[in-house]
């Protein structure tokens, strides 16, 4: 499958990273005025904006559930986020990712606290350079926190790939395309549980275990950045008051 | 999109303020909100720009595609503008295909660019009658705090100004796309200015609260022609109310002044 | 842009009209049995049938508004109304025109009189030779009157174009296509207000002012024809009784 | 489309009248309503006709398009019939894509024209296997006062009869459309007659009120074959009830007579 | 039209059948667990599975009718049921057939017994070799019976075609394609009434009468098979208890 | 699809049983339900199989189509998997386009087949960059009694194993389809095993009742590589809950064993 040398002889990746190195991360919280909570994330060149509404009333009302809040999530890519223009209507891929993103975030939210309501999470990918679902999840956690929604933990997400026979952390586009496996993972790091796990490609059991370890390390790094971003955000808000 | 109920108290307040030449956010009647333009904010788009107009936040991206020309203009490239009102941009927006407001916005921006001859589409013809460039301008609305039309038109224009189109080589009926780029043939800078009518006052660049209570609005695009004169290149009246002649002429005069002001702050030296 | 001489040396247009001359107008009111009100209009070769229902209950009910009537309008072109067959599904153009037509008519209707109801306006273009939205608006006014819906005034509509450097009144297809601007206008003539104004192309401020004057003249002529048609229609109804 | 509730009183009245051979609008059981046909009512359509059947009002337009033939009949042109139940035609119709009733109508009209070999589709082949004419018949229902099928079939046939198709010149694989026109190769005149069953009576050309209370209906198309004999070329039973054999045979006999009557009033001398 | 000799000189059809002979029929009742009633039918190579739900509550509720049960039917072909893959979205043909199938079955159901409810009938064609609507109707009758829905009679259905100048019973794909007429019929045999009748092609009045007679004979044969299948099914159920 | 409300009593029962290593239908925690595979059940499909997994019932059909390759892999055929949750399969399914569950299912099956390199797609290339075979696998769910993913993946694989593809002859840019057939180039047998988490127990092959109350599930596909080793070729976590690391590793180990068991019962001698 590999058509291109993705790992140099001295173990560096196309963008110069080491195998277990994540790309530069930039978070910005509270970037939108109308959304109840919002966050922007750059994971290398992958750029995502997430807005959150809720808890609010659900329409039509008969869809409401008496003992918990319904989580809705939409993952969506801008037509200009990729090399070949993507028509704006949701693809099958976007529909599936919307589902797994929702299921990755829901375990962190105290849904029992808001019966008969809904929380809506909208993730807009404005530039895609691999691991967009991971960025959407990591940013959505911060947007949820910004909206003041009580959570068990933040959800941090990262992907691991097998590329030219090596396991690499934080997969970028070319590694996804020409690598031999891709495995996005999301965790609640302080709870030590996994809320998203997908994989395709070929891994032995040993490789899988190592990938999972690597993902754990990566999620923890994302988690640290998330917490930093939140702290400085809430500190600023306090100071502004 | 449903209409959010604005307490009639707020409506009364906005009308009374307007009556005495004031606005709820402290602006004068013909003041724009602060405009912040960022260009070239994305690598994968061939051109891109974000515009903040007050808290209204819009991103436009440009992509190219080789396609067949329209049969009635076989020697011109195609401009295609779409707009998405993202559900995160307002508690009232819903996910789904563009509604009439998004379609109207895209078409008004399209008409301003087209009517104002912003792009020399003849230069986007590759093989007459067979292959031309389609220029896609996709507008994404991230925060709806009023006056989406002006913000979107500005973001679209700035995205086009920063766009780089690949050079090509035509061999027979095949087009080879080269790895060299050049700017788009942008020949003029149409600017849309939207003015709301509140009572008998005209307010430039209405905020969301003002839009929700206004009688109606008029959007007017101006462009500098080759004769160095200002020309109107698109108009769209919107909303449920009506204008008198005098109001329309006044609105056009205001838009002329304002569009020139905005044109001055366009980055890339106006190009 | 102009590919064809649209104005002859003696100031005549392709169909022999003077610059400020509107095409022959034909109105027929009450042309449909099921609609609460209806009207047919010929504006030259442009042919439109409009049917109106209401005020009637709105479904689903939660869309109803407590203090006024919701106006709905649909502008639609028959597949056989144009040279190249147009598929019947509504295009973006038709959706936009439906909106501006609604907004052109609404100022004339006493919407406060019918809270919680809807008035539906359906305009079907069966032949398109330019200025179809103007014909739809002018005919819709008569259909609304036929339905007995109280109005502040009739709405009359006409378009002005710049063609070969001249401003011309009541734009037909070829002038729209090859002219350098098109400006449809709708008015309530007795109120002297404008309820629809669109323009694309290139006009100086002076040209715009003149276009507006010309449109005013044209709307007034349409208005006279509308009133004539209504008068003779109601007279006939009376006589039939 | 929802079913409008007809007071059971009216239903009772219609059934009792039918029992004694009468109808609510004064017609006899096998009387058609008045038919008014206008052809060539539009210039931009290649063929057009309107039909008033009582107050039912339908317009059909014909357009042509060059397209690829179906792979299994490479040497025949294509007939394509659509129907729109316009929302202005009935308080019960809604805007939107054709529902099952509109689709059924279009398909029944299509089958009558096709089964009755109204058009010699072989003459619409331009380049076998590559290019043929598609004949579009678009039916627009403007007033629904019962029996849309018969009115639509008649309007479609008359529109086809008046249609002018451009002559063409085939040079290699290119088709050149000339500015000369000729009539469509219409070879027979299929006429649909719809009969409603009300109790044990058969009523020709049901009105809207009759349709709303009828047990069921049967639509039968007749055509004159090359053998100068009348042939059945399409049948469609509709509605929730059932027919006995005898009723069906009786309906077919009635339809045969009625279709011949209608065929006589077709303009253009039957062509 | 006929391109191929479909009837041999000794009056045999492509699959060896006599002109008035129906193909082998196989019924299986109660084939699905979740559906309230179900049946599988093979009519030669035509294979259909029908599932029935109801009577059950109708959503949205305002569509319910106070004095009877609403019958809903869907006829649907699997992409792999035909030679050229058929995309799964319903075609215009499938929408029309859904309507006539519903109208063929409704006369047999005591709809007055279940006011404000709905009965849903889903027919899935997994292999199409002609007469699929007839198989759908015949199988649906058994599925309705399996669901315990009270009926006036079973509905049996068969098609008659004119092929190479002969009238033939139980039309298979090639006869439908190359024949000169196709006439599907459904009956309630014990009531001697017709609930579905469609025809296209060319028939004289005499041919039509003969076709109807032939269809009657065919429906009666299907009816016998239906009753046999039901009897042995209910006998088995009883024995299992 | 709405979620059917399961009485909390039943939920409690399922959890308590699981706690003591038991299941409501009497199975042990890592027992599959009975699997019944039938292949080649249809003539018009190029390949077909039905799978009963307990009462869950699924049919997969294979069709071929000549199409253009994807530009980034011009020398490979295309695999395209769809799934329809038929409305007769569950009182909760509705007619309409595939919802997120059907789309997820189709994509997970697709990924297992693709990741596990089940088909040698290079052998499905006809004219590089121009014409390749598209292999359609359409999954129809007839009875939803839990664990649709495993049943669908198995039916799809078996349908592919029995599929016969026409031989072709390439002459210039034309592909001639011959009337001879050969098996598809199937090179490996990916098997998906789904495991539900109920409390802190893992249950293989969840039934519908178990799915309705489970915390979450994980689907793991195994394939035997060319090195004769078992490889994971797809994973999908589903549902609202979360897994610990240990649970995931345990699930993977269970899936490895179970997938080998299932692979043994595949008809056609594993081919």
Q: Where residue D115 sits, what CATH number does that domain have?
A: 3.30.230.70
The secondary element (H helix, E strand) that includes residue F22 is none
Query: Would you call F232 and A199 a contact, using CB atoms and an 8 Å cutoff?
Result: yes
Give pLDDT, residue E3: 60
Torsion of CA E42, E43, E45, E49, to 10 degrees: -40
User: Residue F138: which of E51, E80, E127 has the nearest Cβ?
Assistant: E80
Distance from CA of C208 to the nearest CA of D (A): 32
A239 pLDDT more than 90 = no
Residue indicated by tokens 């563009």: B98
CB contact set of D264 (below 8 Å; sequence gap of 6+): D270
Query: Would you call F216 and A103 a contact, using CB atoms and an 8 Å cutoff?
Result: yes
Domain span at C63: 25-240
Measured between CB atoms, does B244 come within 8 Å of chain C? Answer: yes
Give pLDDT, residue A5: 86
Which residues from chain A sit within 8 angstroms of residue B39, using beta carbons? none
Query: Would you call C126 and D59 a contact, using CB atoms and an 8 Å cutoff?
Result: yes
Chain segment F58-104, per-residue pLDDT in tens: 999 999 999 999 998 999 999 999 999 999 999 999 999 999 999 99
Least confident of C3-12, E72-81, F31-40: C3-12
Distance from CA of C45 to the nearest CA of D (A): 8
Indicate if the alpha-carbon torsion angle F92, F98, F100, F102 is positive or negative: positive
Chain segment C46-93, per-residue pLDDT in tens: 999 999 998 999 887 888 898 999 999 999 999 999 999 999 999 999
Considering the domain boundaries, does residue F271 fall inside one?
no
Query: Would you call F143 and E32 a contact, using CB atoms and an 8 Å cutoff?
Result: yes
Give pLDDT, residue C3: 60
Considering the domain boundaries, does residue C12 fall inside one?
no
D182, D138 Cβ separation under 8 angstroms: no
Portion 128-187 of F in contact with E at CB < 8 A:
136, 138, 140, 142-145
Phi–psi pair at C75, nearest 5 degrees:
-105, 130
Distance CA E10, CA E68 (A): 52
Residue of B nearest to C202 (CA): B233
H and E: helices and strands count for chain A? 4, 9
The CA-to-CA distance between both ends of chain E, in Å, stands at: 56
Domain span at D135: 29-264
Token pair of D56, please? Answer: 């039912």
H and E: helices and strands count for chain B? 5, 13
User: Which chains does chain D touch, 3 or more C-beta pairs < 8 A?
Assistant: C, E
Does the pTM exceed 0.80? yes
Query: Would you call B237 and C103 a contact, using CB atoms and an 8 Å cutoff?
Result: yes
Measured between CB atoms, does C191 come within 8 Å of chain B? Answer: yes
Give pLDDT, residue F9: 87
Average pLDDT of chain B is 94
- Do strands B78-85 and B131-143 pair parallel, antiparallel, or not at all (unpaired)? parallel
Distance CA A144, CA A141 (A): 5
User: Which chains does chain E touch, 3 or more C-beta pairs < 8 A?
Assistant: D, F
Give pLDDT, residue F267: 85
Phi–psi pair at F18, nearest 5 degrees:
-60, -40
Distance from CA of B250 to the nearest CA of A (A): 33
Considering the domain boundaries, does residue C18 fall inside one?
no
- Do strands F131-143 and F78-85 pair parallel, antiparallel, or not at all (unpaired)? parallel
Distance CA F87, CA E88 (A): 13
Distance CA D236, CA D150 (A): 12
User: Which chains does chain B touch, 3 or more C-beta pairs < 8 A?
Assistant: A, C
Residue of D nearest to E84 (CA): D71
CB contact set of C228 (below 8 Å; sequence gap of 6+): none
The tally of domains found in chain C comes to 1
Mean pLDDT (whole number) for E78-98: 97
Chain segment E151-168, per-residue pLDDT in tens: 999 999 999 999 999 999
Considering the domain boundaries, does residue C5 fall inside one?
no
Considering the domain boundaries, does residue C128 fall inside one?
yes
C188 pLDDT more than 50 = yes
Distance CA A13, CA A170 (A): 11
The tally of domains found in chain D comes to 1
E103, E13 Cβ separation under 8 angstroms: no
B4 pLDDT more than 70 = no
For A9, A178, A180, A211, the CA distances from A5, given in Å and listed in that order, are: 9, 9, 13, 21
Distance CA E141, CA E226 (A): 9
Which residues from chain E sit within 8 angstroms of residue D241, using beta carbons? 107
Which residues from chain F sit within 8 angstroms of residue E72, using beta carbons? none
Chain segment F101-124, per-residue pLDDT in tens: 999 999 999 999 999 999 999 999
Measured between CB atoms, does B80 come within 8 Å of chain A? Answer: no
Token pair of F73, please? Answer: 């892999």
Give pLDDT, residue B2: 43
The three-point CA angle A191-A194-A198 to 5° equals: 170
User: Which chains does chain A touch, 3 or more C-beta pairs < 8 A?
Assistant: B, F
Considering the domain boundaries, does residue B238 fall inside one?
yes
Give pLDDT, residue E63: 84
D254, D197 Cβ separation under 8 angstroms: no
Considering the domain boundaries, does residue A11 fall inside one?
no
Least confident of B112-116, C204-208, D169-173, F208-212: D169-173
Considering the domain boundaries, does residue D126 fall inside one?
yes
Give pLDDT, residue E1: 42
Torsion of CA E55, E61, E66, E69, to 10 degrees: -20
CB pairs under 8 A between A and F: 97
User: Residue C197: which of B115, B229, B237 has the nearest Cβ?
Assistant: B237
Task: Tell me how long chain D is.
Answer: 271
Q: E17: how many CB neighbours lie within 10 A of its CB?
A: 18
Give pLDDT, residue B5: 55
Residue indicated by tokens 């035997």: F224
Distance CA B206, CA A7 (A): 54
Distance CA E189, CA C202 (A): 75
Indicate if the alpha-carbon torsion angle C170, C176, C178, C181 is positive or negative: positive
Chain segment B176-226, per-residue pLDDT in tens: 999 999 999 999 999 999 999 999 999 999 999 999 999 999 999 999 988
Choose the mutation target among D40, D44, D50, D148 for the interface with C, i.e. most C CBs under 10 Å. D44
User: Residue E197: which of D231, D235, D240 has the nearest Cβ?
Assistant: D235
Give pLDDT, residue B66: 96
Which residues from chain B sit within 8 angstroms of residue A38, using beta carbons? 88
Distance CA E77, CA B27 (A): 64
Distance from CA of C208 to the nearest CA of B (A): 8
DSSP state of D246: H
Chain segment C123-182, per-residue pLDDT in tens: 999 999 999 999 999 999 999 999 999 999 999 999 999 999 999 999 999 999 988 899
Mean pLDDT for back-to-back runs of 10 residues, chain D (271 residues) = 62 95 96 97 97 98 96 94 97 94 98 96 96 98 98 98 96 92 96 97 98 97 93 97 97 97 82 46
Give pLDDT, residue B268: 65
User: Which chains does chain C touch, 3 or more C-beta pairs < 8 A?
Assistant: B, D
Token pair of C226, please? Answer: 């509308």
Q: Of all residues in chain B, what percent carry a pLDDT higher than 90? A: 92
Choose the mutation target among C28, C34, C50, C95 for the interface with D, i.e. most D CBs under 10 Å. C34
A195, A100 Cβ separation under 8 angstroms: no
D204, D216 Cβ separation under 8 angstroms: no
Query: Would you call E80 and F42 a contact, using CB atoms and an 8 Å cutoff?
Result: yes
Query: Would you call F44 and E129 a contact, using CB atoms and an 8 Å cutoff?
Result: yes
User: Residue D87: which of C81, C122, C127 has the nearest Cβ?
Assistant: C122
User: Residue A192: which of F223, F236, F244 has the nearest Cβ?
Assistant: F244
Distance CA D214, CA D216 (A): 5
A2 pLDDT more than 60 = no
CB contact set of B110 (below 8 Å; sequence gap of 6+): B79, B80, B81
Verify F-E touch: 3 or more CB pairs within 8 A. Answer: yes
Choose the mutation target among E187, E202, E208 for the interface with D, i.e. most D CBs under 10 Å. E202
Distance from CA of E65 to the nearest CA of F (A): 21
Give pLDDT, residue C238: 82
Q: C144: how many CB neighbours lie within 10 A of its CB?
A: 26
Query: Would you call E203 and D231 a contact, using CB atoms and an 8 Å cutoff?
Result: yes
A51: CATH: 3.30.230.70
D82, D106 Cβ separation under 8 angstroms: yes
Indicate if the alpha-carbon torsion angle E28, E30, E32, E37 is positive or negative: positive
Considering the domain boundaries, does residue B136 fall inside one?
yes
Considering the domain boundaries, does residue B1 fall inside one?
no
Measured between CB atoms, does C103 come within 8 Å of chain B? Answer: yes
Higher-pLDDT residue of E61 and E39 is: E39
Banded model confidence at residue C187, pLDDT cuts 50, 70, 90: very high
Measured between CB atoms, does A205 come within 8 Å of chain F? Answer: yes
Measured between CB atoms, does E73 come within 8 Å of chain F? Answer: no
Distance from CA of B180 to the nearest CA of C (A): 31
Distance CA B82, CA B63 (A): 12
**What is the helix, strand, coil percentage profile of chain A, to 5?**
35, 35, 30
Query: Would you call D88 and C32 a contact, using CB atoms and an 8 Å cutoff?
Result: yes
Which residues from chain C sit within 8 angstroms of residue B112, using beta carbons? 200
Indicate if the alpha-carbon torsion angle D118, D123, D124, D129 is positive or negative: positive
DSSP state of F2: P
F1 pLDDT more than 80 = no
Give pLDDT, residue A3: 60
CB pairs under 8 A between D and E: 96
């Amino acid at each position: 499958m590999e058509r291109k040398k993705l790992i140099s002889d001295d173990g560096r990746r196309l963008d110069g990273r080491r195998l277990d190195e994540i790309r530069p991360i930039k978070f910005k919280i509270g970037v939108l005025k109308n959304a109840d909570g919002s966050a922007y994330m750059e994971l290398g060149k992958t750029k995502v904006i997430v807005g959150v509404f809720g808890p609010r009333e659900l329409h039509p009302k008969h869809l409401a559930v008496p003992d918990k809040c319904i989580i809705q999530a939409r993952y969506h890519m801008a037509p200009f986020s990729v090399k070949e223009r993507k028509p704006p209507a949701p693809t099958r891929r976007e529909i599936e990712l919307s589902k797994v993103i929702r299921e990755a975030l829901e375990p962190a939210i105290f849904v029992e606290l808001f019966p008969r309501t809904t929380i809506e999470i909208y993730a807009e990918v404005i530039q895609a350079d691999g691991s967009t679902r991971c960025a959407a999840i990591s940013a959505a956690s911060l947007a949820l926190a910004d909206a003041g929604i009580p959570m068990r933990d933040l959800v941090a997400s990262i992907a691991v790939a097998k590329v030219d026979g090596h396991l690499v952390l934080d997969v970028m586009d070319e590694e996804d395309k020409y690598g031999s496996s891709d495995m996005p993972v999301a965790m609640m790091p302080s709870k030590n549980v996994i809320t998203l796990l997908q994989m395709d490609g070929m891994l032995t059991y040993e490789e899988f275990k190592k990938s999972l370890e690597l993902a754990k390390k990566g999620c923890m790094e994302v988690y640290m950045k998330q917490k930093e971003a939140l702290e400085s955000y809430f500190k600023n808000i306090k100071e502004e008051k | 999109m449903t209409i959010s109920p604005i307490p009639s108290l707020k409506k009364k307040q906005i009308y009374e303020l307007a009556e005495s030449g004031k606005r709820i956010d402290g602006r004068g009647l013909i003041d724009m909100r602060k405009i912040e333009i960022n260009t070239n904010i994305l690598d994968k788009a061939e051109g891109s720009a974000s515009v903040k107009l007050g808290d209204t936040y819009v991103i436009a991206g440009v992509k190219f595609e080789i396609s067949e020309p329209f049969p009635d203009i076989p020697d011109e490239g195609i401009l295609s503008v779409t707009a998405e009102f993202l559900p995160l941009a307002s508690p009232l927006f819903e996910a789904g295909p563009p509604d009439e407001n998004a379609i109207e916005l895209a078409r008004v921006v399209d008409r301003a660019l087209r009517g104002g001859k912003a792009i020399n589409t003849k230069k986007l013809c590759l093989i007459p009658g067979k292959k031309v460039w389609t220029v896609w301008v996709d507008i994404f609305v991230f925060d709806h705090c009023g006056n989406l039309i002006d913000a979107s038109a500005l973001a679209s224009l700035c995205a086009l100004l920063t766009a780089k189109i690949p050079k090509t080589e035509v061999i027979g009926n095949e087009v080879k796309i080269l790895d060299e780029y050049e700017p788009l043939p942008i020949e003029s800078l149409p600017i849309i200015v939207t003015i709301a009518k509140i009572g008998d006052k005209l307010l430039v660049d209405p905020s969301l609260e003002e839009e929700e209570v206004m009688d109606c609005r008029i959007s007017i695009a101006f462009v500098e022609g080759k004769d160095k004169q200002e020309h109107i290149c698109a108009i769209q009246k919107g909303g449920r109310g009506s204008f008198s002649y005098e109001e329309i002429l006044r609105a056009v005069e205001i838009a002329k002044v304002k569009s020139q002001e905005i044109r001055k702050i366009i980055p890339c030296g106006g190009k």
